[in-house]
Structure 1
Amino acid sequence: MAITVGMVSLGCAKNRVDGEMIMATLQGAGYQLCNDAALADVAIVNTCGFIEDAKKESIEEILELARLKKEGRIRAIVVTGCLAERYREEIRKELPEADAVVGIGANTDIAQIIGQTLEGQNPESFPPKNRLPLYGERVHSTPSYFSYIKVAEGCDSRCAYCAIPMIRGRYRSRDMESIVEEAERLAQNGTKELILIAQDTTRYGEDLYGYLALPKLLDRLCRIEGLRWIRLLYCYPDYITDELLDTMARQEKVVKYIDLPLQHVSGRMLKSMYRSGDRQSITALLQKIKDRVPGITLRTTLITGFPGETEEDFTELSEFVKEIRFHRMGCFPYSQEEGTAAAKMPNQIEEELKHHRMELLMEQQMRIMEELCQEQIGKTVTVLTEGYDRYAECYFGRGPQDAPEIDGKVFFHSPEQKPSYGQFVRVKITDFIECDLIGEVEEFL
């Protein structure tokens, strides 16, 4: 009887893609895949180690699986991903329930590692980070109508607060041909929305081709039959070029949406974070984006409580958020990460104050989003149907202004005809609840 393997994949979409490649490797090696790691012979925890909350979630998941192992319901636990790469010794010491702890460079060796655990060994493997493949066969964990595609790995930016370069290594772009070929296969298998991801998507190609190649890549992807939406996540502001913006405006398939993690706008704070710019330059960039790509949805993420953040710095950030009126925004209290430059900086902010400032910004953003939702009433938007809510007795999906898993939804009634999942419909907005829109189907596309 085949050994069953299940995975819990935590953290970002980039980690999800790595997990999908791991599962394809295991399937090719003859293991039987199980959708629920708690019901499998072997449970893999593909961990996140980016910030404190993510680390806690990873540890809690390992401990829960350890309880099931003690009860005899699973046979082995394999820990991989960012937390394993970063805290290999600590996991071995503090979480002896893990049968194997392996780094991201060992992902292609997972089948062999699982075999060793089932023989009673406790393997460890931490090859060079650049052994992590940029692409390969995947067992997709998303619905067939949307797919993530990783265009690069690693990061060279070395922001003061961030451990990613230590965990993931140097920036490595994937060659354009392999991206286009995979996108073509995905489209043939039903993908309608393609979401480009990397630690810094806008830097794509600089290391490989000597120039910023994202505009060229977008032009090629837009020629693929079957793709309807192409979305950009994780776009570093320093690499937003006029060419990229003109490509976004010109190509109908490129969703008028950009995820631009700014982190702060105080020039003093940005300098301390080892990032460039200030409020004036960032405001000018955002205005240029709006001018060159009319109707674009702006999404950002911000950090509160970075070491040395004064009330004046926070007030400047708050005023900036009011001024710009981002369509989508996330905010995180600063996490003091070992090994980063910021962890050793003086004037660390108390946890309570970090969270208080974050809550103030998010309350302010909620009010902005309610105003933006109110402005949508009476308008018609294109929606990608994703499911049916039995409690609300209506369908739901996402418009071009919403990325999966991080943004809102559009709930809609369709009394005359049932849309299939993955089908595009035109919905007239009639109301909203919190930050989700509500409407009625006007047209099936």
Structure 2
Amino acid sequence: MSKSAKKLCMVSLGCPKNLVDSEVMLGILKGAGLELTADEAQADILVVNTCGFIGDAKEESIDMILSLAEHKKTGRCRKLIVAGCLSQRYKDDLSISLPEVDCFIGTGEYHRIAEVVEDGFRERVLVGLPTYIHDYTTPRIISTPGFYAYVKVAEGCSNHCSYCSIPSIRGAFRSRPIDSVVKEAESLASQGIKEINLIAQDTTSFGKDRGEGLEPLLKKLIPVKGIEWIRLLYLYPGRITDEVITIMKNEEKVLPYIDLPLQHISPPVLKAMNRQYTRIGVEALMEKLRSRLPDVTLRTSMIVGFPGEKESDFKELLDFVESVKFDRLGVFTYSREEGTPAWSMKGQVPKKIKSGRMDALMSAQREISLEKNRALVGSAVSVMVEGANEDGDGFGLKGRAASQAPDVDGAVYLKGRHVEPGKIVSAIVTGAGDYDLYAEVR
């Protein structure tokens, strides 16, 4: 390794799946002898792991690249590496338009980052067909608080939704072996991790490509000592089995939390999106989940302004949200992405209309969320304490209930006795906001 390549700073953008890739790169780089720093100005090498999924994320990635490139003029930085989805998707364009960047690494090559540094950046573009997926032996440095972590159980996607570029960015769906995931969970538990969040592009398809499945994975994760919460994220509506529901009902560790990205509910829009389910099927599934899991938390995300979405389609979506009453809901405006079938679809919706529909849907959900939170006042909830609440106001601690996933859901603000971060406590809800709860430690 070059003597000048001493300190390295990593900036991770995008989703939790990207974050795991960043953590793996950090582990590999530390193992190669680099000193890691959080100070961009002190780094000899800067790495940004980019997102390239939708327009806003691409803009954020480009802005960050240009910002980091300034350190090559004003700071210690001598090399700038751009990794992740943006490199994978736009390697040819970026290699021409961003001469400031010394190396581009794709989504299937991030495990080779130490090679790039050690060989003196001889290969500027390292982007191939994504087939790699890390395992439990791969070095990894957890960057989330020391009591929860994400566990990527699979990579890629084979669903081919018409609006989505993920299959071209991340490759075909491929699962890790069950034993690999379990051994990683055991390793995380030995580091003090108490909550693992299982993630993939389609977590419900885990193991199908290997003759395994999500159910046997959960059964092997449950006995892992030290892990107290197991949360499933990114579940596909038509693939939630009765056995998974039964495991959630009977096993306290497996949280009754269903993250179900529906995207829409109107039949014409679902068909155009190439989503393989119907409103009737979704409503039947939700009725089953709420019947068998009385404490279930249902989260979803929706896309408004998809090509051809008429006012009647949006009204059906709004009616569905208001009648079903999700516990958590996120809304995105459709982002037109080149290389996807939806790019060339007729009926592109104007930006102003898309924004108005997003506001209307979020306004409806805000009322639903407040109503549900108020119904919890006086009840006991399990809360993982995350640390001090810097805003204070008599609530000195901040945490998350079992019904709140990291980063995307609200928080619980706590008062009462002091509790160390990472502890799971019982608390009585005393107040409610639109998305947050206020409670007193029992």
What is the aligned partner in structure 2 of residue 24 from structure 1? Answer: 27
Secondary structure of 1:79's counterpart equals: strand
What is the aligned partner in structure 1 of residue 179 from structure 2? Answer: 177
Larger deviation, residues 168-177 vs 237-246: 237-246
AA at the equivalent of 1:221: L
Deviation at 1:90, TM superposition (A): 1.5
Q: Is the 8 A contact 1:370 1:434 kept in 2?
A: yes
Q: Is the 8 A contact 2:42 2:75 kept in 1?
A: no
Q: Distance in 1 between matches of 2:132 and 2:296?
A: 37
Q: Distance in 2 between matches of 1:246 and 1:116?
A: 52
AA at the equivalent of 1:96: P
Task: Provide Cα deviations, 1:23-43, integer angstroms capped at 9, x if missing partner.
Answer: 111111111111233431111
What is the aligned partner in structure 2 of residue 133 from structure 1? Answer: 134
Secondary structure of 1:285's counterpart equals: helix
Deviation at 1:391, TM superposition (A): 2.4
Q: Distance in 2 between matches of 1:266 and 1:216?
A: 34
What is the aligned partner in structure 1 of residue 61 from structure 2? Answer: 58
Larger deviation, residues 146-155 vs 385-394: 385-394
Larger deviation, residues 65-74 vs 228-237: 65-74
Q: Is the 8 A contact 1:385 1:425 kept in 2?
A: yes
Secondary structure of 2:108's counterpart equals: helix
Deviation at 1:96, TM superposition (A): 1.6
Q: 1:94 aligns with which of 93, 97, 100?
A: 97
Q: 2:148 aligns with which of 146, 158, 163?
A: 146
What is the aligned partner in structure 1 of residue 300 from structure 2? Answer: 300
- Provide the identity percentage: 45
Q: Is the 8 A contact 1:7 1:36 kept in 2?
A: no
Q: Is the 8 A contact 2:133 2:176 kept in 1?
A: no
The root-mean-square deviation of aligned C-alpha atoms, in Å, is 1.4
Q: Distance in 1 between matches of 2:115 and 2:175?
A: 28
Q: Is the 8 A contact 2:9 2:40 kept in 1?
A: yes
Q: 2:11 aligns with which of 8, 32, 35?
A: 8
1:272 corresponds to 2:272: yes
Q: Is the 8 A contact 1:9 1:19 kept in 2?
A: yes
Q: Distance in 1 between matches of 2:295 and 2:214?
A: 21
Secondary structure of 2:131's counterpart equals: helix
AA at the equivalent of 1:328: R
Aligned counterparts, 1:203-214, within 5 A:
203-209=205-211, 213-214=213-214
Q: Is the 8 A contact 2:257 2:297 kept in 1?
A: yes
AA at the equivalent of 2:386: E
Q: Distance in 1 between matches of 2:133 and 2:250?
A: 35
Q: Distance in 2 between matches of 1:59 and 1:435?
A: 31
AA at the equivalent of 1:73: R
Deviation at 1:285, TM superposition (A): 1.2
Q: Distance in 2 between matches of 1:38 and 1:323?
A: 51
Q: Distance in 1 between matches of 2:42 and 2:90?
A: 27
Unaligned runs of 5+ in 1: none
Aligned counterparts, 1:259-338, within 5 A:
259-338=259-338
Larger deviation, residues 23-32 vs 155-164: 23-32
1:123 corresponds to 2:124: yes
AA at the equivalent of 1:52: G
AA at the equivalent of 1:321: V
1:400 corresponds to 2:395: no
Secondary structure of 1:104's counterpart equals: coil
Q: Is the 8 A contact 2:23 2:141 kept in 1?
A: yes
Task: Provide Cα deviations, 1:408-441, integer angstroms capped at 9, x if missing partner.
Answer: 0000102xx3100001111111112331100111
> Would the alpha carbon gap of residues 132 and 79 (structure 1) be closer, same or farther in structure 2, given more than 3 Å must change?
farther
AA at the equivalent of 2:387: G
Secondary structure of 1:381's counterpart equals: strand
Q: Is the 8 A contact 1:219 1:251 kept in 2?
A: no
Task: Provide Cα deviations, 1:3-54, integer angstroms capped at 9, x if missing partner.
Answer: 1111111111111111111111111111111123343111101000111111
Q: Distance in 2 between matches of 1:337 and 1:326?
A: 28
Deviation at 1:330, TM superposition (A): 0.3
Secondary structure of 1:105's counterpart equals: coil
What is the aligned partner in structure 1 of residue 351 from structure 2? Answer: 351
Unaligned runs of 5+ in 2: none
1:163 corresponds to 2:165: yes
Larger deviation, residues 428-437 vs 75-84: 428-437
Deviation at 1:289, TM superposition (A): 1.4
AA at the equivalent of 2:241: T
TM-score normalised by length of structure 1: 0.95
Deviation at 1:303, TM superposition (A): 0.3
What is the aligned partner in structure 2 of residue 72 from structure 1? Answer: 75
Secondary structure of 2:109's counterpart equals: helix
Secondary structure of 1:130's counterpart equals: coil
1:85 corresponds to 2:88: yes
Q: Distance in 2 between matches of 1:275 and 1:314?
A: 17
Secondary structure of 2:428's counterpart equals: strand
TM-score normalised by length of structure 2: 0.96
Q: Is the 8 A contact 1:134 1:152 kept in 2?
A: no
